[in-house]
Amino acid sequence: MSSLPFPFPVVGWDNGEVVLIDQTVLPDRLAWRRCSDVPALCRAIVELAVRGAPAIGVAAAHGLALSWHLAAQRGMDTTAMLEYLENDRRLLAATRPTAVNLFWALDRVGSLARRLVAQGGGPEQIGTAILMEARKVLEEDIAMCRALGRAGAELLPDVATVLTHCNAGGLATGGYGTAVGVVYGAKEAGKTIRVFADETRPLLQGARLTAWELADQGIDVTVICDSAAATVLRQGRIDAVITGADRIAANGDAANKIGTYPLAVLAARHAVPFYVAAPGSTFDPDTPTGEKIIIEERDPAEVHSWGQTRVTPETAAAWNPAFDVTPAELITAFITEHGVLKPPFSESLGPVLAR
């Protein structure tokens, strides 16, 4: 058992395999998926067995460790092993286009591998270094999320009700959480926190995942339909809306699960602060504005069905963007390991964009 508020390993390494919680079967059962090669890990990412920008980054880093391990088993020299790893890096990079942590982690671990090969390192030495770097990605993510959780907790009153969207908790990160990490941080500070969790159609990450892990931690959580968010805000029942993010542009525009943008509009309408909680690895200095963020479009079948049951007419079409972009002007502040960053974002985002 972990000492983290979220008590299970989201992504790990065991005997030459990447092991992760299979989030597709929650909350019915807790199960782990073992990925013995990179294509299997790619399927796990695409199928959302592992999801959430930080967790995807952690998984991808371990995926390159797996790639090098398999190349070593085939007896390749280090030049061929690096080519093998680069091919697997491309496979992982093609899984989900919006979450910047994926590319950040791949670049970080891939650069290390290239540098060590150029320096003449041996296969075993390089493999050990790559795995250690993947573990550092995990450990640093947890540390960043803990720090932002403490920073965000200071924004909440001693008794507070928070509205969340999708899942930005332990399941979406190395094991602590971003938006839900603020809830954990507030609880650890002795505050009383209640959470309203948007169900988050079409795959119900809020209802299935956020509610599951909050209930597991003994936090008062109420699931609402996405369309009920306006009502709870209008009734004055919410002290803060806190979401995570999958990519934050240099100007502060933030991409997150589809349905986040209307929450920001509603929060502004009802004078409720709208916070985005994210580690520095989610900020993208190479993307100037939200207009440049690639928005993943997923299989329309996710919209057509509820579980295994088709709920739309056979002749109806469906559109399934996975994310939307919230303009910076609707964001009250970013909660990061660097502290709470408030407008003007052209100045306050400097520490995270300089990574």
Residues assigned a catalytic role = 246
For the record, the structure tokens of 51 come out as 């999801």
Q: What are phi and psi of 354, to 5 degrees?
A: -85, 5
Q: Using CA atoms, how far apart are residues 328 and 123, in angstroms rounded to an integer? A: 46
Q: Which residue has the tokens 């001693």?
A: 158
Cα four-point dihedral sign 69, 72, 78, 79: negative
8 A C-beta contact, residue 303 and residue 318: yes
Can you state the percent helix, strand and coil of the chain, rounding each to 5?
45, 20, 35
Report how far apart, in Å, the C-alpha atoms of 281 and of each of 17, 54, 56, 96 are. 25, 8, 12, 16
Closest CA to 163 of 217, 214, 96: 214
Q: Using CA atoms, how far apart are residues 122 and 125, in angstroms rounded to an integer? A: 5
